[in-house]
Amino acid sequence: MPEVHGERDADAFVFFGATGDLALKQVFPALYRMVRSGELHVPVIGVAFSHGGVDELRDRARDSLAASGEEVDPAVLDRLLALLNYVDGDYAEASTFAALKSALGDAKRPAHYLAIPPGLFGTVIDGLKAAGLNKGARVILEKPFGRDLASAKALGAIVSRAFPEASIYRIDHFLGKEEIMNLLYFRFANSFLEPIWNRNYVASVQITLAEDFGVQGRGSFYETAGCLRDVIENHLFQIVALLAMEPPGYRGFDAVQTEKHDIFRAMRPLTPDDVVRGQFEGYRDEPGVAKDSDVDTFCAVRVVIDSWRWAGVPWYLRSGKNLATTACEVLVELKAPPQLLFEDAGPAEAGGNYFRFRISPDPAIAIAARVKTPGEQFVGTQRELTLLNAEAGGEKPYERLLGDALAGESALFTTQAAVEAAWAVVDPVLEHHATARPYAKGTWGPEEADALLGPGETWHNPGDDA
């Protein structure tokens, strides 16, 4: 029997920037896996300005897969190559979009993926609209969605000139990770969490995303971004939203987006006292970096969520380059029992029980609880019970996100309202902040970050013994 596809499914996939690095490193491998799984069956049209043709695009797809390490099935590759078409032209020229319209033929629900720098979004959006290629279509955007609140609003206005909000898919590969999706599932698929997932039992939440490498030759890019913009405001805020959001009122993508948006709105805008910025020693010697640069390659923030559930619970977020290890981990620390019956079980001796979500490497979910050691004395130790380990295989982030966008499923994407609400939290400190503090490579950042924590609190460093 032939496959049956819903009316929400896109009937063509167009990707601008077909000869760029993103296409080479991520898009072609994702498209190959989608063809292999039977998820992709519609025409795929690459658009770029390279003076090449479809044969060159197919060669680029082959090169991409060879470099990706993907085990290539020749039959699957042939099916992908057969779907490919190419339009060459300047994004500023109407003739480019006329050629695209011709290549799309009878397609009525194309998905336009803008794998291009944000500075070109307006040109492409206007070209699509002028050619009537926005009608019945959807658009997929790559982050960053602005670099502050004003630019985020301006970008939203540009895109909304041609597409309604329901047809805009803002892609952040971080949200396509299996481990990030599991945070949402773990929260709401287990009834034992709800009674304690609040200010009455949670003492604090720490989220760390560390990298043991530097800017890797991308100094000029990092000069325009920095850690607060590049990681904290999007990746780590998304983790906060998934952990802190209220249960959605119904099963639906819109319900999840609404609850995440409400968390961003409930976050108290940051002040300079809530932020510690750092810069690894030697950053200013990187190509493309100013000799007097104050860009943050490390950032730690203290977030307050003014909601009934989380009032008084501090959320500590930090990220940085050239730190002690590469890892992403969440620690939800619970309050100590209300009465101390055993001398060795107080928070000063052992710390509270906690939930630990290791997102990378070696993903896992664990619960820490105290157990008595053998003998007559009432003494014990805290042990971890591991609930989940990663399994090999599964969808990769771009495969999942592009597939969802083609299918019209928006749960893993963000809305313009949420984008603006998140920027509103960090906007007050983007320009008004203390100087970035130097830190040595291979450490956990500047010591000043310790001052963000409350009395008796210490940072949990991923990789430390449980």
Asked if residue 396 lies in contact with residue 365, where contact means CB atoms within 8 angstroms, the answer is no
CA distances from 58 to 19, 44, 83, 95, 122 (A): 11, 11, 10, 23, 28
Residue 74, preceding peptide bond in cis (omega within 30° of 0):
no
Residues contacting residue 202 through CB under 8 Å, at least 6 positions apart? 196, 310, 313, 332, 333, 334, 335
Q: What sign does the CA torsion over 46, 51, 56, 61 have? A: negative
| Catalytic-residue membership of 235 | yes
CA distance 405 to 403: 5
DSSP letters of 272-330? GGGEEEEEETTGGGSTT--TT----SEEEEEEEB-STTTTT-EEEEEEESSBS--EEEE
Q: Is 367 helix (H, G, I), strand (E, B) or coil?
A: strand
Enclosing H/E stretch for 169: strand 168-171
**By the 8 A CB rule, do 148 and 210 touch?**
no
Task: Give, in degrees to the nearest 5, the angle at Cα 427 between 424 and 432.
Answer: 155
Q: How many angstroms separate the CA atoms of 276 and 296, rounded?
A: 9
Residue 109 near residue 9, CB atoms below 8 Å = yes
User: Which residue(s) pair with 445 in the sheet?
Assistant: none
- CA nearest to 276, candidates 433, 443, 430, 96: 433
Pseudo-torsion of CA 182, 186, 189, 194, nearest 10°?
Answer: -150
The first and second tokens of residue 31, run together, are 């498209």
Q: Report helix, strand or coil for 236.
A: helix
Structure tokens at 301: 């923030």
- Per residue in 377-395, is it b (16+ CB within 10 Å) or e — as a string? eeebebeeeeeeebeeeeb
Residues 41, 51, 173, 235: which is the catalytic one?
235
Other residues' Cβ atoms within 10 Å of the Cβ of residue 280: 24
- Annotated active-site positions, please? 235
